Amino acid sequence: MDSRMVEVRRWLAEHHGELVRDTVAMLRIASLQDDPAPGAPFGPNVRAALDLALELSGQRGLRTKDLDGYAGYAEAGEGEPLVLSLGHLDVVPPGNGWTFDPFGAEVRDGWIYARGATDDKGPTMASLYALSALAETCGPLPARVRVVFGCNEESGMQCVKHYVRTEEAPTHGISPDAGWPLAHAEKGIANFVVSFNAPRKGFDLLDIEGGDRPNMVIDRCEAKVRVDRSVRAEVDGNLAKAWDRNVEWEWDGDLLSVVARGKAAHAAHPFAGDSAAVRLFRFLAEVAPESAREEYSKALQTGHLSGVGLGIHGSDEPSGDLTCNLGIVSCDGARVSLWFNVRYPVTWNGEQVRERVLRRIERYGSDWSLDRFDDSPPLYFPLDHPMVAALREVVREELGIEDPPIVMGGGTYARVVPNTVSVGASLPGDGAAHESDERIHTDHLLKLAEVYAHMLLRLATLAGSGA
Measured CA to CA, the distance from residue 129 to residue 389 in angstroms comes to 24
The closest of 177, 124, 117 to 440, measured between CA atoms, is 117
Q: Give catalytic residues, as residue numbers.
A: 90, 153
Strand 379-380 relative to strand 220-227: parallel, antiparallel, unpaired? Answer: unpaired
DSSP secondary structure letters along 8-25: HHHHHHHTHHHHHHHHHH
| 387: helix, strand or coil | helix
User: SS3 for 56?
Assistant: helix
DSSP 100: S
| 320, 340 Cβ separation under 8 angstroms | no
Dmax (CA) for the chain in angstroms is 82
Contact 449/12 with Cβ under 8 angstroms? Answer: yes
What number of CA atoms fall less than 13 Å from residue 209's CA on the CB side? 7
Burial environment of residue 25 by CB neighbours within 10 A (0 to 12, 13 to 18, 19 or more):
middle
Measured CA to CA, the distance from residue 186 to residue 379 in angstroms comes to 5
d(CA 78, CA 263) in angstroms, rounded, equals: 48
CA nearest neighbour of 378 among 403, 344, 355, 405 = 344
Cβ count near 139 (within 10 Å): 9
Give the DSSP H or E segment for 75. strand 71-76
